[in-house]
Amino acid sequence: MGNKRKPNVSLIQTSRSYTIREVAERLDRQVETVRTWVQEGLPVLPGTTPRLIDGAELKEWLKARQAKRKKPCGTDKLYCCKCCEPRSPDPATVKTEPTAMVATTLIKGKCQVCGTSMHQARKTADLPEILREMMGKAKADSNLTGYCDPRANPPLWSGQGAFDFEQYEGGSGSVH
- Identify the structural domains of the chain with CATH numbers, from first to last: 9-69 (1.10.10.10), 78-168 (no CATH)
Cα dihedral 22, 39, 46, 49 in deg (nearest 10): 50
Centre a 10 Å sphere on the Cβ of residue 154 and count the other Cβ atoms it contains. 12
- Contact criterion met (CB below 8 Å) for 106 and 87: no
The alpha carbon dihedral of 166, 168, 172, 173 has a sign of positive
Q: Is the pLDDT of residue 147 over 70?
A: no
DSSP state at residue 138: S
**Span 10-18, average pLDDT:** 95
pLDDT tens across 39-95, in order?
999 999 999 989 999 999 999 999 999 888 888 888 888 899 898 889 988 888 888
pLDDT confidence tier of residue 3, bands split at 50, 70 and 90: low
Three-point CA angle 82, 87, 91, nearest 5°: 115
pLDDT confidence tier of residue 158, bands split at 50, 70 and 90: very low
- Residue 32's Cβ-side half-sphere holds a number of Cα atoms within 13 Å equal to 1
- Widest Cα–Cα separation across the chain: 75
pTM score > 0.75 for this model? no
